[in-house]
Amino acid sequence: MRLVFDIALTHVRARLRHTGVAVAGVATGVGFSVMMAALMQGSQDDFIRQLVNALPHISVTDERRSPPRQPAEEIFAAAQIHGLTPEARRRGIKNPLAIMAAVEAWVPGGVAPSVKVQAILRYASRDVGTSIIGIDPRREPNVSELVHQMRVGTLSALYRATNAIILGDRLAEKIGARVGANITVQTSEGANVNAQVVGLFHAGVRSIDEGTAYVLVRTGQILARQTGLVNELRMRVDDPLAARQVAERVERETGYKSVSWQEAHEDLLSTFVIRNVIMYTIVGAILLVASFGTYNIISTITHEKARDIAIMKSLGLPERTVRSIFVIEAALIGLAGGLAGFALGYLLCVALGSVEFKSPFMDANRIPLAYSAWHYLIAMAVALTSSVAAGFMPARKAARVHPVDIIRGAS
């Protein structure tokens, strides 16, 4: 085996310029693959992070996944019901405090109640449709980033006025309201409440900053005209990736529909799958093209070395050994290209990561990049495999040659 390595190294070393070109090809492929993987993964992670931070990990609502069971179904073994209009249920989650206590006992994370009401904000004769969310300022920090998103005022300012309200900063701008302004909140349930703006928040997601306002749970219940109403429990779990399993268990235990962030954004997550398929296809193509260079150089070497191959075979070196010489040369090119590509890819990432820019859609001012050993390992694995495959074809052809055909021609 050492012999095979020695011969392979000698061949490669004698053609440094040519092999250099092949190595550079593989290095460029690996470098850009690594950079692209870092970019894609980075933007995906960043997006998911924002998604996970902006929304509760699990939302338990007063809905049920299937219509309530009818008495006929309870009594008879087989019953079919058509065109049923279920009895109007009292809205809201029953016994929210008991459920929260039960859930808090085992969920690694926090729970907070809320009341969601659609309303129209009216200020200085401007009307804006808004989602009003009634929250508990003491529990809220356990489930959302709202505390850290406050721009003016604090969450506890909600306790200061009778009907205090915190607006998204873009929403406030839209209606022209400042802290201290008195605005009117109207709901379809017929409530009409005067509220005082006590704070502004900025979540960084346009749709939220433009269309959301926070009040106390009690105020929310007044707006919904239903005392004691809690129509959503929001949960945050320590491991966001476990949200799906936790949601399933909560739903099993409470009977209320529990939606994890993954379920809520299944469409988005599936576009990530498509995005990754596209990325890996392109990366694979780049590395495949890079391996053409390897094919070229190995082909050239086997042609130049036809006489040496004949000599080695005539001495009795087996075909397998001769073939592995050139396969190893291809692997060496792939390996060298891969290592150089690591450096190139890392430098490209650092360079990209240092570019600052301003975006109207994002708060981030740097391109999000993910550094992962996997990107490097996968790129190396693909580069090595394609190089070896590219080298294998000419190597096999060269090793099959009959030495006599060449020796006869030479002597």
Residues near other proteins (CB under 8 A) are 2-3, 6-7, 10-11, 14, 307-308, 311-321, 402-404, 407-408, 410-411
Query: Which residues touch 388 (CB under 8 Å, ≥6 apart)?
Result: 327, 330, 331, 334
Least distance (Å) between residue 5 CB and other proteins: 11
**Cα–Cα distance list, 219 to 112, 190, 371, 405 (Å):** 16, 14, 46, 96
By beta-carbon proximity to other proteins, the closer residue of 183 and 301 is 301
By beta-carbon proximity to other proteins, the closer residue of 41 and 302 is 302
Least distance (Å) between residue 3 CB and other proteins: 4
By beta-carbon proximity to other proteins, the closer residue of 2 and 358 is 2
Task: Say if residues 297 and 22 touch (Cβ distance below 8 Å).
Answer: yes
By beta-carbon proximity to other proteins, the closer residue of 315 and 373 is 315
Least distance (Å) between residue 322 CB and other proteins: 10
Q: Which helix (H) or strand (E) holds 260?
A: strand 258-260
DSSP state of 157: G
Least distance (Å) between residue 13 CB and other proteins: 8
Least distance (Å) between residue 20 CB and other proteins: 18
The string of DSSP codes covering 193-223 is EEEEEEEEE--S-HHHHHHEEEEEHHHHHHH
Task: Say if residues 224 and 115 touch (Cβ distance below 8 Å).
Answer: yes
Least distance (Å) between residue 328 CB and other proteins: 15
Assign 234 to helix, strand or coil: strand
Least distance (Å) between residue 10 CB and other proteins: 5
CA-to-CA distance for 302 and 392, rounded, in angstroms? 11
By beta-carbon proximity to other proteins, the closer residue of 14 and 268 is 14
Burial class (CB in 10 A: 0-12, 13-18, 19+), 150: middle
CA-to-CA distance for 39 and 47, rounded, in angstroms? 12
By beta-carbon proximity to other proteins, the closer residue of 75 and 410 is 410
Burial class (CB in 10 A: 0-12, 13-18, 19+), 356: exposed
By beta-carbon proximity to other proteins, the closer residue of 211 and 403 is 403
Residue type, 9: L
Least distance (Å) between residue 311 CB and other proteins: 5
Task: Say if residues 330 and 298 touch (Cβ distance below 8 Å).
Answer: yes
What's the CA dihedral at 331, 336, 338, 343 to 10 degrees?
A: 170
By beta-carbon proximity to other proteins, the closer residue of 88 and 410 is 410
